[in-house]
Structure 1
Amino acid sequence: KNKSEALLPRVITLEDASVTTSGDAFQAFEIEGIRYSHIVDPRTGIGVVGSAGVTVIAPDATTADALATTLSVLGPQAGYEFVEKIEDCSARFVWYEAGKVRVRTSSQWSSQTSYSAQKK
């Protein structure tokens, strides 16, 4: 299967921080052609649609994990706006739109990371 560069595994170098990813890469189901994440949007009671994953860097693992799930539910636009208001946290959003993989990183992402794609 031809993977988008955005979906390739990555090595992230961190110092005094934690990283976590939430998404539907391994836990999702499809009904009538629509892919639903195992992450449930509490506003609708239905699995999130269209989000491939959100990777978060935060000062501690609990914050990173909670924020990654929250941003997955909010989606790339609202999630981006939310994480931009949080000091010492950054995020990388990957989602599907019009049949393409899209990526957006928060403004603090590049200052908190040094990473490279791992091609096999």
Structure 2
Amino acid sequence: MTIDGKQYGHLIDPRSGQQVNSPPSVTILSRRGVDVDALSTSCSVMGVDPCWALVEDTPDTEANCVWFEDETLKVTHSDGVILLDPQNVRCGNAPCCLF
């Protein structure tokens, strides 16, 4: 939302009460939806490094994080995440689109 020309996001850091600026993109894979929701929001607020401790402590859970550091795109993922090369993904005999 925009108030008085300033953009506000939906992620709030409970430590400061301020919005989270430039949060990482976090994808959580887990068997329980409640874990996915809580971990994705927590990891976006806390940042990448503290996120890994939470992911490792949650059974059957994996994560993928994408963020900018000094204007460089960074990507990291837990060991259980299988990364797909979008150039080689197929749906039957046709290529698929991944978002």
* Stretches of structure 2 lacking an aligned partner (at least 5 in a row): 87-96
**Structure showing greater relative contact order (alpha-carbon pairs closer than 8 Å, 6 or more residues apart):** 1
Give the superposition deviation at 1:78.
0.6
Residue 98 of structure 1 corresponds to 70
Give the superposition deviation at 1:47.
1.5
Please give the residue correspondences for 1:34-53 in structure 2 after superposition, counting only pairs within 5 Å.
37-53=9-25
Q: 1:92 and 1:115 mapped to 2: Cα distance?
A: 12
Shift in CA distance, 88/50, structure 1 to aligned 2, threshold 3 Å: same
TM-score normalised by the chain length of structure 1: 0.59
* Stretches of structure 1 lacking an aligned partner (at least 5 in a row): 1-26
Are 1:57 and 1:90, in contact at CA under 8 Å, matched by a contact in 2?
yes
Please give the residue correspondences for 1:9-24 in structure 2 after superposition, counting only pairs within 5 Å.
none
Aligned length: 88
Are 2:24 and 2:48, in contact at CA under 8 Å, matched by a contact in 1?
no
Give the number of the structure whose alpha-carbon radius of gyration is greater.
2
Q: 2:36 and 2:61 mapped to 1: Cα distance?
A: 8
Q: 2:49 and 2:21 mapped to 1: Cα distance?
A: 14
1:28-56 per-position Cα deviation (integer Å, ceiling 9, x unaligned): 9x96xxx8742111011111123231000
SS of the residue 2:59 aligns to = coil
Are 1:92 and 1:109, in contact at CA under 8 Å, matched by a contact in 2?
yes
TM-score normalised by the chain length of structure 2: 0.70
